[in-house]
Amino acid sequence: MTISDVSPVRIQDRTAELAEIKAHAAAGPDPGATERQHAKGKLTARERIETLLDAGSFHEIEALRRHRATGFGLEGKKPHTDGVVTGWGTVHGRTVFVYAHDFRIFGGALGEAHAQKIHKVMDLALAAGAPLVSLNDGAGARIQEGVTALAGYGGIFRRNTRASGVIPQISVMLGPCAGGAAYSPALTDFVFMVRDISQMFITGPDVVKAVTGEEITHNGLGGADVHTSLSGVAAFAYDDEESCLEDVRFLLSLLPSNNRETAPREEAADPADRRTDNLLHLVPAHPGQAYDIRTVIEEIADDGEYFEVQRAWAQNVVCALTRFDGHVTGIVANQPVSAAGVLDIHASEKAARFVQFCDAFNIPILTLVDVPGFLPGVDQEHHGIIRHGAKLLYAYCNATVPRIQLILRKAYGGAYIVMDSRSIGTDISLAWPTNEIAVMGAEGAANVIFRREIAAAEDPDTERAQKIKEYKTELMHPYYAAERGLVDDVIDPAETRSAIIAALTMLRTKHADTPSRKHGNPPL
């Protein structure tokens, strides 16, 4: 038979048949499946994709894929898509790849064909150099397919790892995620969760109760608030899917498509030379008085806008993405209103991961310093504050993007060094006239250095006060570090925004040579 022998009617029939198959796949396995999904307060896989991507931009791949498993009740159930919708579209006009579990089909459980579809879209994202977003709503491995389902997860994990630092990877949790399935989101750059409908855990409440006797709900064990405030696994929590997906879109607007590009610039209406006189009132001069570092970020950033990461976890450090003169910049800042801004295990780990992310994707880093030191205590030492603090130190030392340090007030001890000091490679170090850089606070230093003189004095309190004043005058005055070349300039707080933008502009063409090596060995 030749092409000329093919009747146009047959082609039309096949086209109609194809349309019917795709419509049936989109509708779900039975008429009530979508209603049951909506009754749980959840969107369907395709509704989620439509919400995430620009209208009409989605291109689906392997929509007709079916599983090949036999036995255990699967031979008569071979729905198209096999429970996952894959493809690409655009967000704000830029290409983004996506896959979404369809809970209406086998509970979104992963089988061989299901996994191969995900592998395909992950490979395409890496080849195209575009972000990958996973919309997770699945019941884990498909038990009926045995080890092939487990192997499918292994392929996902390997691809997550290969893509790490090459393309942005975002996981959106919109349903259950248990067992080995939870490791894929953990390997990605950012995890979003929605309260009440999404949970993540390795072993569920029933197993926990059987093994330890502890009784706990699904949300209590692995809900959104647990993972954003206690475990640090997730970065963001929302009350509904729509607001969650809207913020995923916003985050993507702040990120480059891959590690060979820079983040997209937006034309800035906020003048680069705008004075920041409000900082004179927002930040108390006394180093022991608390304030919210977010007010500083709002004052210096373009239009006061920023996007904070892991806001509810390790609150003594703030990590955020913002723009200066339209260019995306990462901010790491001590938070004096929480534990005085001290560095501890969780704060060190949070900041280290954020620094690594910014460095991987060519995002400059501004570090706002107001730190009294590392948190002392038996618990911190026994749980490895040395190792975790070294993670932050390693991340900064390893970073090759433009780096600016701004010391607002106190910067004491090892924490001063770790917070991107000149000695570990920051490009430009700035300080306000209120800066105090020293091994420790004046009170503690005086008690150590002059303990004999104080003890022998007729009036120990007066002697102590005199020695504290002497130590501050000699070693902690605001120009001490600048005189020794450890601070590039002491600036008027009202000129903070313009000074930061000037430094970032100068560093935009920065090039850093790195040693020839396979990779370093960070203190994980």
| Among the ranges given (165-174, 220-229, 250-259, 431-440), the one the predictor scored with the smallest mean pLDDT | 431-440
Residue 7 has which token pair?
């009747």
The span from the CA of 269 to the CA of 266, in Å, is: 9
User: Are 28 and 151 contained in the same domain?
Assistant: yes
Kind plus residue range of the DSSP H or E element containing 500 = helix 496-507
Task: Assess if residue 273 is contained within a domain.
Answer: no
Q: What is the reported pLDDT for 469?
A: 79
> Does 473 have pLDDT greater than 70?
yes
Task: Assess if residue 284 is contained within a domain.
Answer: yes
Q: What is the reported pLDDT for 6?
A: 53
Whole domain around residue 197: which residue ranges? 22-253
User: Are 326 and 222 contained in the same domain?
Assistant: no
User: Are 84 and 224 contained in the same domain?
Assistant: yes
Task: Assess if residue 332 is contained within a domain.
Answer: yes
Calculate mean pLDDT across residues 72-76: 62
At 393, the pLDDT band (50, 70, 90 cuts) reads very high
Residue 373 has which token pair?
């030191």
Q: What is the reported pLDDT for 468?
A: 77
Calculate mean pLDDT across residues 15-32: 77
Task: Assess if residue 452 is contained within a domain.
Answer: no
- Please, is 186 exposed, middle or buried when counting C-beta atoms within 10 Å of its C-beta (0-12, 13-18, 19+)? middle
Where a domain ends, among 237, 253, 269?
253
Task: Assess if residue 345 is contained within a domain.
Answer: yes
For the stretch 208-225, pLDDT in tens is 999 999 999 999 999 999
Based on the structure, what is the number of domains in the chain? 2
User: Are 244 and 287 contained in the same domain?
Assistant: no
User: Are 107 and 233 contained in the same domain?
Assistant: yes
Report the share of the chain in percent with pLDDT over 90. 69
At 444, the pLDDT band (50, 70, 90 cuts) reads confident
Written in H, E and C, the secondary structure of 53-103 is CCCCCCEEECCCCCCCCCCCCCCCCCCCCCCEEEEEEEECCEEEEEEEECC
> Does 1 have pLDDT greater than 50?
no
| Among the ranges given (115-129, 262-276, 454-468), the one the predictor scored with the smallest mean pLDDT | 454-468
Where a domain ends, among 217, 235, 253?
253
At 474, the pLDDT band (50, 70, 90 cuts) reads confident
User: Are 247 and 308 contained in the same domain?
Assistant: no
Could you list the active site residues?
Answer: 179-180, 414-415
Q: Could you tell me which residue, 59 or 449, shows the higher pLDDT? A: 59
Task: Assess if residue 260 is contained within a domain.
Answer: no
> Does 71 have pLDDT greater than 70?
no
Q: Could you tell me which residue, 73 or 451, shows the higher pLDDT? A: 451
The mean pLDDT value of the chain amounts to 91
> Does 3 have pLDDT greater than 60?
no
User: Are 146 and 288 contained in the same domain?
Assistant: no
> Does 281 have pLDDT greater than 50?
yes
423 within 8 A of 486, measured Cβ to Cβ: yes
Calculate mean pLDDT across residues 331-354: 98
User: Are 204 and 326 contained in the same domain?
Assistant: no
User: Are 333 and 248 contained in the same domain?
Assistant: no
- In degrees, rounded to 5, the angle at the alpha carbon of residue 198 between the alpha carbons of residues 165 and 56 is 65
Q: What is the reported pLDDT for 248?
A: 98
> Does 4 have pLDDT greater than 60?
no
Task: Assess if residue 72 is contained within a domain.
Answer: yes
Calculate mean pLDDT across residues 56-83: 79
Calculate mean pLDDT across residues 3-26: 71
Instruction: Work out the number of other CB atoms within 10 angstroms of the CB of residue 74.
Output: 16
Domain of 234, CATH number, reads 3.90.226.10
Task: Assess if residue 233 is contained within a domain.
Answer: yes
User: Are 346 and 248 contained in the same domain?
Assistant: no
> Does 67 have pLDDT greater than 90?
no
User: Are 488 and 395 contained in the same domain?
Assistant: yes
User: Are 355 and 487 contained in the same domain?
Assistant: yes
Q: Could you tell me which residue, 345 or 109, shows the higher pLDDT? A: 345
